[in-house]
């Protein structure tokens, strides 16, 4: 199905706290060719989040139904009891609008997409310069409890094993510099012609 529609995908992935969401937002502001792929999730909306804009907020039963009906390109239980998944309908919408889909998804989900879609895709893994710096950032963000910081650091350690599967691994030391490098990668990818199906 994906191959027949033949559009482009950009994946931004990396551990929680690496800065990937800020980078994804910067790309969307900068390149009108991109469109954000709105994921489905079972987590509760945060203040200010809008259904259909930030996520499609589903309950557990609705999410399971979406899995059974093959409506998800990939899905992961990113945190215990909290599922996130990429909707095939979003890809269709974006490609019908002749745009490039931008995914901001977790590392394991990104790995699944990267290994199942062979062409017209670029994958960028954003990492913090070190686990100590990642810890500092999570503490400064102020949204995490000590327990959840530990969980995220354990997960980040595991996620480092996956870096070899992605096209680019960028250490986000200075945000401005990282945004420039990733912007250049994305610009080249936008200009690249579509590779045709065999």
Cβ–Cβ under 8 Å, residues 172 and 178: yes
CB closer to ligand 5GP, 31 vs 84? 84
- Two tokens, residue 194: 């579509």
Would you count residue 36 as binding ligand 5GP (CB under 6 A)? no
- Calpha distance 154→99 (Å, rounded): 36
Of the candidate residues 104, 127, 166, 182, the single one contacting ligand 5GP (CB under 6 A): 104
CB closer to ligand 5GP, 78 vs 186? 78
- Calpha distance 97→101 (Å, rounded): 10
**Axis-axis angle for helices 175-191, 20-30 (nearest 10):** 50
Would you count residue 151 as binding ligand 5GP (CB under 6 A)? no
Would you count residue 16 as binding ligand 5GP (CB under 6 A)? yes
Residue 151 CB, nearest distance to ligand 5GP (Å)?
Answer: 12
Would you count residue 105 as binding ligand 5GP (CB under 6 A)? yes
CB neighbours of residue 19 within 10 Å:
22
* Radius of gyration, CA atoms only, the chain: 16
Q: How far is CA 113 from the centre of its chain?
A: 10
CB closer to ligand 5GP, 40 vs 186? 40
Of the candidate residues 9, 78, 101, 117, the single one contacting ligand 5GP (CB under 6 A): 78
Cβ–Cβ under 8 Å, residues 38 and 53: yes
CB closer to ligand 5GP, 106 vs 179? 106
Task: Please state, in angstroms and as integers, the Cα–Cα distance from residue 169 to each residue in 50, 68, 146, 182, 197, following that order.
Answer: 31, 34, 28, 10, 27
Stretch that binds ligand 5GP, among 70-78, 93-101, 123-131, 179-187 (CB under 6 A): 70-78
Residue 196 CB, nearest distance to ligand 5GP (Å)?
Answer: 27
Stretch that binds ligand 5GP, among 28-36, 98-106, 124-132, 157-165 (CB under 6 A): 98-106
Report phi then psi at 180, rounded to 5: -70, -45
- Two tokens, residue 39: 């994921």
CB closer to ligand 5GP, 138 vs 193? 138
Q: Which residues bind ligand 5GP (CB under 6 A)?
A: 16, 39, 43, 74, 76, 78, 84-86, 104-106, 109
């Amino acid at each position: 199905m994906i191959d027949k529609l033949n559009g482009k995908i950009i994946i931004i992935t990396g551990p929680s706290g690496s800065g990937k969401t800020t980078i994804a937002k910067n790309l969307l502001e900068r390149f009108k060719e991109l469109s954000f792929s709105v994921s489905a999730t079972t987590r509760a909306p945060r203040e200010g989040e809008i259904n259909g804009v930030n996520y499609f907020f589903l309950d557990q039963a609705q999410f399971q139904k979406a899995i059974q009906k093959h409506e998800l390109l990939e899905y992961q239980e990113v945190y215990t009891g909290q599922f996130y998944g990429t909707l095939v309908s979003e890809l269709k919408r974006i490609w019908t609008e002749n745009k490039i889909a931008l995914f901001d998804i977790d590392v394991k989900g990104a790995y699944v997409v990267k290994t199942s879609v062979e062409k017209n895709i670029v994958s960028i893994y954003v990492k913090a310069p070190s686990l100590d710096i990642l810890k500092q950032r999570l503490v400064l963000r102020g949204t995490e409890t000590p327990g959840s910081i530990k969980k995220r650091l354990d997960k980040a350690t595991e996620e480092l094993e996956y870096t070899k599967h992605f096209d680019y691994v960028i250490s986000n030391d200075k945000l401005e510099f990282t945004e420039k490098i990733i912007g250049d990668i994305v610009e080249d990818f936008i200009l690249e012609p579509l590779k045709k199906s065999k």
